[in-house]
Amino acid sequence: MSWARVFVLSVLTTLFVITCEYLVLVGGEKSGGSAAQQVFMPESDASNFFKRRNRRSVRYYEFLAEQRVKRAADERRREYNEEQRNEYENYVEEDRDEKCQQSNNPVRVKPSVRVGTQRGDPDPQFAV
């Protein structure tokens, strides 16, 4: 049984190698011509290519203009964020100062009626 598996595997491998070689030979005949003909194109085609594409990359002055626009947008964004941060810091500082003042000067409210006293009797704690 094991010999049959080895035989079938070797036959399949041989068929695969022969098929690959055949495809390489047939593919080489279809492309035709030498490597130089595959790499280079006729002069007329090349000139038409460059006429259609008068420039192949962005010109330097366009690149600089684009960079200036990006820098200006970044600067505006930075100024806006700085302004927002300053406003928030001022708000937090004012809030902190307000809380500090409230904790240093507690306001006592005189109750109108205290449990255990009669109505109208002043509270000895708040006596004037």
Over residues 4-45, the pLDDT tens digits come to: 899 999 999 999 999 988 888 877 665 555 666 667 777 888
Task: Write down the residue that tokens 């500082």 correspond to.
Answer: 93
Residue 21 lies in a domain: no
- d(CA 94, CA 88) in angstroms, rounded, equals 10
Length of the chain, in residues: 128
Residue 81 lies in a domain: yes
Tokens of 88: 């928030």
Short-list 104, 86, 84, CA closest to 94? 86
Residue 67 lies in a domain: yes
pLDDT tens string 63-119: 899 999 999 999 999 999 999 999 999 999 999 999 988 888 765 555 555 555 555
Short-list 60, 80, 78, 59, CA closest to 70? 78
Neighbours of 72 (CB within 10 A): 10
Question: For the chain, what is the domain count?
Answer: 1
Residue 3 lies in a domain: no
Longest dimension (CA), the chain: 120
- d(CA 67, CA 59) in angstroms, rounded, equals 13
Q: Per the confidence metrics, is the pTM higher than 0.75?
A: no
Residue 90 lies in a domain: yes
The boundaries of the domain holding residue 93 are 57-102
